Copies of this chain bind each other. A is one copy, B any other.
Amino acid sequence: MGTREDLIEVATRLLDNGGVPAVTLREVGRLAGVSHNAPYKHFADKQALLAAVAARDLERHSMLIQQAVRRKRSAKAALSEAMGRYIAWALEYPERFRLVFGRWTTESPELTAAAETAQAGLVGLVEAAQASGALPAGDPVRLASLVRSVAHGAADLAATGHLSATGKGHAGPEQLVDDLLTYLETAAT
């Protein structure tokens, strides 16, 4: 129905194959059944369309993570599950992941808002885990940044093939996050 939604959907599909260079406004218009510059009636420029794609994907995955977290009983399991979903996102849709956490020259309010909401949710999980004794005391924001950095770094390195070099020491991103959580739990006691 909405041409605007169609454009975002088509752009996301093109992004998944081929990456950002494959998202040409002409191809987006063509696949959406409009002229090659109809997108300019809905988005200021290509960057704005990509920002809409990124914001939409970030919101969607934040919701998926929140839903999965609610099903968990322990705070530690919830935190592990949240990071696991974060990593799965990066591995399944690496181009979207790289886009969302890429370098934005033009600021997108909806993208910033979605990122802040996701960050706040993670801090809440960390606070709950601290209260249950699964994480050491200390500034929860700082601890949340540490946990997310491991998840983000491991996911990014894995998605770009810079982590999974073969050999006996090979550990997947989820394992590395769980390693961290285990070390933190021993440090908490």
Contact = CB atoms under 8 A, between A and B. Distances in A.
Nearest to A173: B149
A156 B145 contact: no
A109 interface: no
A157 B149 contact: yes
B153 A183 contact: no
Contacts of A163: 145, 149
Interface in A82-127: 94-95, 98, 101-104, 115-116, 119, 123
Interface residues of A, number: 51
B183 A171 contact: no
| Interface class of chain A by DSSP | helix
Contacts of A165: 116, 119
Interface string A42-81: 0000000000000000000000000000000000000000
Nearest to A136: B183
Nearest to A179: B146
A119 B136 CA distance: 30
A184 interface: yes
A142 interface: yes
Given A101-B157, A140-B169, A187-B183, A164 B150 contact: no
A36 interface: no
Would you list the 4 A-B pairs with minimal beta carbon distance, nearest first? A141-B169, A153-B153, A149-B153, A152-B153
B159 A156 contact: no
A160 interface: yes
Contacts of A131: none
